[in-house]
Structure 1
């Protein structure tokens, strides 16, 4: 494991200023300081050493290529973490276009739906669920909320909305399918969950 260079905020700011000017030694010192931290972050997101190794090199290559755009007066660590996260997400987005993985998703769609159900009902993810709900018709959205959020039976919902229980059932199935498809297409986090399932099969 490489030795991590300790530096004060002022020292690091000077290193970043030198990096912006194209100083290779400054780049090497910043790499030495942060590469292990970034590697651990990538590995937690990908779970594979060879992928983490490859993406780590991509990240620092981007840093060197975009050094002129770095603001030395802002947190280099925060900027570096943002670059790392974007590189990992780009990797996953490219992987999602892989034909074999798409075929796997189609074959395993029922299992992925089960994963989505748990994902959706986690209160920490209200934003993506709220956005998905807005794509539904008013009646379908209300049925979903009554059944899933208020845990009402089909008969109770049917009585409230003055429709048949079978209509409630059909509308709930359609609403759930639409919401899960929305999450599948729009959530980076869930995309990573799905790809993680694929990589582990």
Structure 2
């Protein structure tokens, strides 16, 4: 985030009172940082722009609480991070976005730090998969490793297509919960690549 504005506390008080000019000063000062932060996570200029606009709209909606904020930069970062991660979770957990994930996780885009983090996440995912109950594990394996459809899994396991889908949902819920319990809740958008590939 950029440097703190000299009169930031006064500006936040004015924004809380509904002053659009003061909000524009805050907006202009922090826009580039929020946009670049969004771009870093989404890798899409259009999405980053939309998210940055959403973040400032959210800030305006909660303007009455701004005078209570002691560290505005940290507050703005937290609001931004949460909104962006919510967006990514919704996007990447949709099978329709597999192409997006493949592009996003192209190894040429990895920094050494991100690659290390990804390997740690992948290892934890595999630990979670090994702890799945037998039927959930079998559906997960047949779907994600062998690439079978739910129809084919149903025939192979002598269960209905809907039961296969339900088992997969439960398997993914189990894995996400395991990841969160092991400190990887902020990396769910990374984990989902493993789920969907």
TM-score by length of 2: 0.54
Aligned twin of 2:120 = 119
What per-residue deviation string (whole Å, max 9, x for no partner) do you get for residues 146-183 of structure 1? xxxxxxxxxxxxxxxxxxxxxxxxxxxxxxxx9xx635
Please, what is the CA RMSD of the aligned residues?
A: 4.1
Whether the 8 Å contact between 1:5 and 1:29 is mirrored in structure 2 is: no
Q: Is it true that 1:20 corresponds to 2:13 in the alignment?
A: no
SS of the equivalent of 2:67 reads coil
Aligned mate of 1:7, from 5, 8, 16: 5
Aligned to 2:59: 63
Q: Deviations over 1:63-86 (max 9, x none)?
A: 001111223551111111111001
The answer (yes or no) to whether the contact 2:122–2:194 under 8 Å persists in 1 is no
Match of 1:154 in 2: none
Query: Are the equivalent residues in 2 in contact too, given 1:13–1:72 (CA < 8 A)?
Result: no
Residue 47 of structure 1: how far off its partner (Å): 1.1
Q: Secondary structure of 2:5's partner?
A: coil
Q: Unaligned 5+ residue runs, structure 2?
A: 102-115, 132-170
Residues 1:182 and 2:180 aligned together:
no
Query: Does residue 192 of structure 2 align to residue 191 of structure 1?
Result: no
- Structure 2 CA distance for aligned equivalents of residues 29 and 182 of structure 1: 44
- Classify 1:117/1:53 alpha carbon distance in 2 versus 1 (closer, same or farther; 3 Å): closer
- Name which one, 1 or 2, has greater alpha-carbon Rg: 1
User: Could you tell me how far apart the structure 1 residues matched to 2:99 and 2:25 are?
Assistant: 44
| Inter-CA distance 53–117: structure 2 relative to 1 (3 Å threshold) | closer
Q: 1:191 to 1:26 in 2, by over 3 A?
A: same
CA distance in 2, matches of 1:52, 1:85: 12
Distance (whole Å) between structure 2 residues aligned to residue 65 and residue 20 of structure 1: 10
Q: Deviations over 1:22-51 (max 9, x none)?
A: 100010000011011111111111111011
1:40 is aligned, of 36, 47, 69, to: 36
Structure 2 matches for 1:72-111, cutoff 5 A? 72=68, 74-101=70-97
TM-score (norm 1): 0.53
Secondary structure in 2 matching 1:71: helix
Cα distance change, pair 87–54 in 1 and its aligned pair in 2 (3 A): same
